[in-house]
Structure 1
Amino acid sequence: MDQPPTVFRSWMSGRGRARSRGWRNLRPLPWGSRMTEHLVFTLVANLAANGDLAGHERRGTLTWPARSAILGLLAAAKGIRRDDAPGLAALEPLRVAVAVHDIGQPLRDYHTVQTVPTAAARRPDSHAVALLQAGRAVNTTLTQRDYRCGVVYSVAVWGLDMAPLRDALLRPVFTLYLGRKSCPLSAPPAPRLIDAPDAATALASAQMPRFRPVPPPLALYSDAPSDHARIERRNDVALDRQLWHFTSREVHVTTFAEDA
């Protein structure tokens, strides 16, 4: 088990005893009791865009980072580019669990986007050329992008050799963002390798920065089943990141009561 630096501490200490008890009582289904190596790390950001089903004018955000976001962040740490299909496919066997400690506050940003009717610009070399050719014959649309401010998550991944991923998070090749490039992490992810029978047990070892008071989790979103969980379906398994094609999966969701 990796030892954390002194600038981090466990979320299991401090306030939030009721939810801590609920977390300790969380049990996997019987077939999940074998010890497994988990990579556990923390995501803290002043601004986050977790993605959701997107329309032309709306870019929403979940209150937690989906599986595709976690794998994308790990790919960035390893230096895997979006057009590197074999490199991205190598991460697909990973299973993911996300504990939500703080969903933050919502923020909505508005943009105007200009689109060019086909009749106004024939086979332009770029969007800039199309706008120039179209002149005043453009359509302007008001779009909105949603963010969460002040989020805290702990993450457990398992299913591959985890040491290279731990090393990549310690020394990432590309800058790590929580969604968009405007959303850098506000603290190092503090990755650790933890041997545990299930993700919930491993996540109890997640380390939080000391500058940020962090309560126990409000919810756990996991690939692994649990006898306390409900099942949701999420479209967050990437089929082609260049074409932005995704398919669905089952997510096992456990929520915890507020402090008594």
Structure 2
Amino acid sequence: MQQYLSFQLYGVLASWGEQAVGESRHSATHPSRSAILGLLAAALGIKREQEQVLKRLSDSVAMGFKVMHSGLVLKDYHTVQIPAEDKKAKHHYTRRDELFRSGKPGTVLSSREYRQDALALAAVWLNEQAAYSLEQLKQALQQPSFQLYLGRKSCPLSLPVNPKIIAADSFISALEQYPPFEAEKKHYLGLENITYYWEKSPHSGIENYGYRVSRYDQPLNRKHWQFCSRDEYVLLATGESHVSESR
């Protein structure tokens, strides 16, 4: 049997970033790989500029998700002030210095999308030659070095992630064994179809079940916010019925 680190993702707001084009910043209906890597990195105390360490973390893990409720869409339209271009500018100590001492500031329009009251479970398992153990990741999630959030800093967790290491034949079985919490039992079960998402991996326990889509959420260069595509498998399940693990 394979071991999986399972934990819950619930918040009043979440934002699972999609490809950003122009002023619009859309959110997917389920967690992105980059967002979960960021959450694990924050728990471990890895800083954004530590690109090699972030890459080792990314190479160490694979992941899958069980989405019970994708959340209602919330759109936020606002304006953002940006400083005028000043090639001679030195370090700015305050936001006021940045905006007003380099010339007249400009304005950027921005439309951002969030998911309200979304609920999902995540399962993480290790690849070959992993730089971390599941126990290390579990302890980090229990006592995170930095604040954990759901895709954006403005989307903090509404409940602890409550990590559990579960031995199972597949990540789906591990997530089915994960203990439900009260919000799930009272409000979500039966309201919509449960959906599973995962990446192909020797240790997922699933062999190409469902259909496949491409998703641009594999971090490529953190400094330049660049991402590349990966294949993600999808399985639609009805309610809480058992899902077959072979086909």
Would the TM-score normalized by the shorter structure come out above 0.5?
A: yes
Query: What is the alpha-carbon root mean square deviation over aligned residues?
Result: 2.3
Cα distance in 2 between the residues matched to 1:184 and 1:129: 28
Aligned to 1:255: 236
Which residue of structure 2 lines up, in the alignment, with residue 193 of structure 1?
165
* 1:249–1:196 Cα change, 3 Å: same
The DSSP-based 3-state class of the residue aligned with 1:95 is: strand
User: In the alignment, is residue 72 of structure 1 matched against residue 38 of structure 2?
Assistant: yes
d(CA) in 1 for partners of 2:163 and 2:36?
Answer: 13
**Using a 3 Å threshold, how does the CA distance of structure 1 residues 68 and 194 change in structure 2: closer, same or farther?**
same
The alpha carbon displacement at 1:229 in A equals: 1.2
Q: Which amino acid aligns with 1:175?
A: Q
What does 1:17-166 align with in structure 2 at a 5 Å threshold?
35-92=1-58, 93-115=60-82, 121-125=86-90, 128-129=97-98, 131-135=100-104, 139-159=106-126, 160=130, 161-166=133-138
C-alpha displacement at 1:184, in angstroms? Answer: 0.8
In terms of Rg, which structure is larger?
Answer: 1
Whether contact under 8 Å (1:187, 1:209) holds in the other structure is no
Alignment match, 2:189: 215
TM-score if structure 1 supplies the norm length? Answer: 0.77
Q: How many residues align?
A: 222
Aligned to 2:220: 239
Deviations 1:14-42 (A, max 9, x none): xxxxxxxxxxxxxxxxxxxxx21110111
**SS of equivalent to 1:56:** coil
The 1-side partners of 2:82 and 2:140 are apart by 40
2:177 counterpart SS class: coil
The structure whose RCO (Cα within 8 Å, separation 6+) is larger is 1
Identity %: 35
Unaligned runs of 5+ in 1: 1-34
List alignment gaps of at least 5 residues for structure 2: 201-205, 242-247
Task: Give the TM-score taking structure 2 as reference length.
Answer: 0.81
